């Protein structure tokens, strides 16, 4: 009762999994990924050990098809399984057992594999693959577009409940010392894919670092506006200068990844300040 995509963006050194299911907290079961190695989706009477074991095989040098063959060779229930694997270079493989509940199927393409079972029609998986191939932008956005296309084609025939998005890359996680670049879950929701997209927007606000070219140098007029905004929020500390107060506020609001240093500000932080004072 799940559809998913595993995908890679070798240029960005990203791999990931996106999934939706009429299954509570699907993100706790289906997605597995390791930065610089690959990603695995395990579903349909899922054997969750296929995730970490598949990643170990990829890291040992096996290509996705060889890894998949080895994983399933000793599995007495392989015809009930559905698994998708992609490596960091974009090679992909997918397996749908003959006893998976219809509609069930797999499709692989350049840099991705899509798979689903208990689907409303046999158009769901092809629609996902086509949407991913047409989409542009970061890997996370393209995978969400694949989920949306699958849902438009009918999705899980039992309905919607949960969705998850996992994207990893070496050093991509918070603080730069882990690979969990994006790790978002919607465990129970009427429209989990759209809620997942909303969470991705929030993730980018809080955790993406600004591009140097986008930073604004603060002239006296902008400094005066920032001072007024912080004053309205009661966050201008009289014992600190303007930029120390701004830094403290950004840390309080979990925006520290967007700190640009004294004299400069990320435009998204400026918009955030304006929005917060507008709400007040």
- Confidence (pLDDT) at 1: 73
**23: nearest Cα among 167, 207, 186:** 186
Residue holding tokens 């604004």? 216
- Confidence (pLDDT) at 218: 97
Percent pLDDT > 90 in the chain is: 96
- Confidence (pLDDT) at 242: 97
Residue 50 in this model has a pLDDT that exceeds 60: yes
Residue 223 in this model has a pLDDT that exceeds 90: yes
> Edge to edge, what strands does the sheet with 31-34 contain?
31-34, 38-43, 82-87, 92-96
- CATH number for the 2-207 domain, one of 3.40.50.150, 3.40.50.300, 3.60.20.10, 3.40.50.280? 3.60.20.10
The span from the CA of 185 to the CA of 180, in Å, is: 13
Domain boundaries defined on the chain:
2-207, 212-279
- Please give the average per-residue pLDDT across 112-123, as a whole number: 97
66 band by pLDDT with thresholds 50, 70 and 90: very high
Instruction: Please give the structure tokens belonging to residue 257.
Output: 């990844």
Instruction: Please give the structure tokens belonging to residue 156.
Output: 């899980």
Question: The pTM is what?
Answer: 0.93
Q: Are strands 105-109 and 2-9 parallel, antiparallel or unpaired?
A: unpaired
- Confidence (pLDDT) at 239: 87
Name all contacts of 93-98 with Cβ < 8 Å and 24+ positions apart: 93/63, 93/64, 93/65, 93/67, 93/68, 94/68, 95/68, 96/44, 97/44
């Amino acid at each position: 009762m799940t559809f998913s995509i595993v995908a890679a963006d070798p240029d960005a050194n990203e791999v990931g999994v996106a999934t939706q299911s009429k299954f509570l907290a699907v993100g706790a079961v289906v997605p597995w990924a390791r930065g610089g190695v690959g990603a695995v989706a395990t579903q349909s009477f899922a054997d969750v050990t296929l995730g970490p074991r598949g990643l170990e095989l990829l890291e040992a040098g096996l290509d996705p098809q060889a890894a998949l063959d080895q994983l399933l060779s000793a599995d007495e229930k392989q015809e009930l399984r559905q698994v998708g694997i992609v490596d960091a270079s974009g090679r992909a493989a997918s397996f749908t057992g003959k006893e998976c509940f219809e509609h069930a199927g797999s499709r692989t393409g350049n840099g991705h594999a899509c798979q689903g079972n208990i689907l409303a029609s046999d158009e769901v998986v092809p629609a996902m693959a086509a949407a991913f191939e047409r989409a542009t932008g970061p890997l996370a956005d393209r995978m969400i577009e694949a989920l949306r296309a699958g849902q438009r084609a009918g999705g899980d025939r039992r309905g919607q409940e949960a969705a998850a998005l996992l994207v990893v890359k070496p050093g991509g996680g918070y603080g730069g010392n882990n690979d969990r670049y994006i790790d978002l879950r919607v465990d129970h929701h009427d429209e989990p894919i759209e809620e997942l997209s909303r969470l991705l927007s929030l993730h980018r606000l809080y955790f993406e670092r600004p591009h140097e070219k986008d930073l604004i140098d603060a002239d006296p007029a902008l400094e005066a506006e920032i001072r007024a905004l912080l004053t309205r929020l009661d966050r201008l500390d009289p014992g600190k200068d303007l930029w120390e107060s701004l830094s403290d506020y950004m840390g309080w609001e979990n925006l520290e990844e967007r700190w640009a240093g004294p004299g400069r500000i990320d435009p998204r932080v400026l918009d955030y300040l304006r929005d917060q004072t507008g709400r007040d």
